[in-house]
Amino acid sequence: MSPDELNAAVGEYPEILGSSWKIPNSDLQGMRIGSGWAPQFDTRVKTCSAIQRGGKTFSDYHTCAQLSLGAKLNFSDVWISVASRDFHHSTPYDYSFKIEYNVVATSAKYSWLPHCGRRYEFKMATVSFKSSTADGLQALFMPLDRHTWAGSGLSFTLIAILLTGYGLKNGNRTLTKGIEYFILSWQWILSSLSGQFHGTPAILRLVSNFPVFVIICILFYFLLGTVFYQGSMFSSLVALIPPRLPLTMESVVYSKIPIITTSRIYIGGSEAVSMLNYEMLDQVINSYVNSAKLFRTLTHLKTCPYQLRICHRSQYF
């Protein structure tokens, strides 16, 4: 195998053999290739560059790696072990096979090799939890001040008493009827404030000798409830300042808002941990951070694992 052949292989897939591939494929001498425990090949989450070579497809990692190495680099010392265990950055990985090679004719720098890895879709969201309050009920009282509410309540009560007195004067003068007329008057007042006037005929029967008073009250309640109160409520809602939520990554981290992510990796065979905290942060901090401010932010997030949470049911996220 000549260096020209290796250079031609690099030219076949210049985009795939980019910066992210230079570390695992930089030098073939003494390196290893391994796969995870799953023997079946899932094209949705797993990758092997041999699949894109000549339209070939392979059912598992083992075939992919063997045929790729054998056809391209013509290795004679391919060794396959089953269920071996390796350690990378103190994190155990279980391999269903492992290929080791020690004799290479040339360094084969940046040459074409199967990259049997797994694509992780990273998702993250920040959620601000707020304790339940009476904001919804408070919004009903916001349009009017305290003195207006007190004066309106007193006026409505006096009008209800006046209507009750008219009803008792023209009918049965008992306590039960008095309570009934008072409740009926209050219902009519509240309905009129909401723009509902279907209870007006019953009130007109109570004060049949003075219908002009009822008409004046209807106009007053319409202006107060439908025009003044609802208009003031709309104005107060428009003028309400929304809560100040963190918009940048730095403000999210230092505000200690929980960060929920569905991307996870497994350590120790079964323990699920956050891929952001255990893999991505270290790589970004050590390799790509050129800003002291960003370095402090990511380091702070790294030291606060309680802020990172994993959503195990990613389909609901």
Q: Is residue 124 part of a domain?
A: no
State how beta strands 308-310 and 259-261 pair.
parallel
- The answer on 203 and 255 residing in a single domain is no
**Of 183, 214, 239, which residue sits at a domain end?**
239
How many other C-beta atoms can be found within 10 angstroms of the C-beta atom of residue 159? 18
- The answer on 253 and 227 residing in a single domain is no
Phi, psi of 91 (to 5 degrees): -115, 120
Distance CA 98, CA 78 (A): 9
Q: Cβ(224)–Cβ(193) under 8 Å?
A: yes
- The answer on 152 and 48 residing in a single domain is no
**Of 239, 257, 274, which residue sits at a domain end?**
239
Q: Is residue 130 part of a domain?
A: no
Q: Cβ(229)–Cβ(144) under 8 Å?
A: yes
pLDDT confidence of residue 176 = 83
Q: Is residue 28 part of a domain?
A: yes
Q: Is residue 13 part of a domain?
A: yes
- The answer on 16 and 107 residing in a single domain is yes
Q: Cβ(204)–Cβ(214) under 8 Å?
A: yes
pLDDT confidence of residue 122 = 64
Domain count, the chain: 3
Q: Is residue 166 part of a domain?
A: yes
Instruction: Tell me the whole-structure pTM to 2 decimals.
Output: 0.36
Written as tens digits, the pLDDT of the chain (317 aa) is: 333 433 444 444 444 444 444 444 444 444 455 544 445 555 555 555 544 444 455 555 556 666 666 655 555 544 544 444 444 444 444 444 455 444 444 444 444 444 444 555 666 666 666 666 656 666 677 777 788 888 888 888 888 888 888 888 777 778 888 888 888 888 888 888 877 878 888 888 877 777 888 888 888 888 888 777 777 777 776 666 666 777 777 777 777 777 777 677 777 666 777 777 777 777 777 776 677 777 787 777 777 766 666 555 443 33
- The answer on 96 and 11 residing in a single domain is yes
Q: Is residue 128 part of a domain?
A: no
- The answer on 271 and 230 residing in a single domain is no
State how beta strands 91-95 and 264-267 pair.
unpaired
Residue given tokens 């009822």 in the structure block: 214
- The answer on 83 and 109 residing in a single domain is yes
The pair of structure tokens assigned to 7 is: 């250079």
Q: Is residue 126 part of a domain?
A: no
The pair of structure tokens assigned to 101 is: 């090679």
Distance CA 261, CA 280 (A): 12
Distance CA 102, CA 218 (A): 97
Residue 148 belongs to what domain range? 135-239
Distance CA 6, CA 72 (A): 9
How many other C-beta atoms can be found within 10 angstroms of the C-beta atom of residue 82? 9
Distance CA 20, CA 17 (A): 7
- The answer on 271 and 218 residing in a single domain is no
- Euclidean distance between the first and the last CA atom of the chain, given in angstroms as a whole number: 50
- The answer on 33 and 11 residing in a single domain is yes
- The answer on 113 and 141 residing in a single domain is no
- The answer on 152 and 104 residing in a single domain is no
What does the angle CA 310 – CA 117 – CA 22 come to, to the nearest 5 degrees? 115
**Of 119, 150, 174, which residue sits at a domain end?**
119
Q: Is residue 271 part of a domain?
A: yes
- The answer on 108 and 147 residing in a single domain is no
User: Which neighbouring-strand residues pair with 91?
Assistant: 88
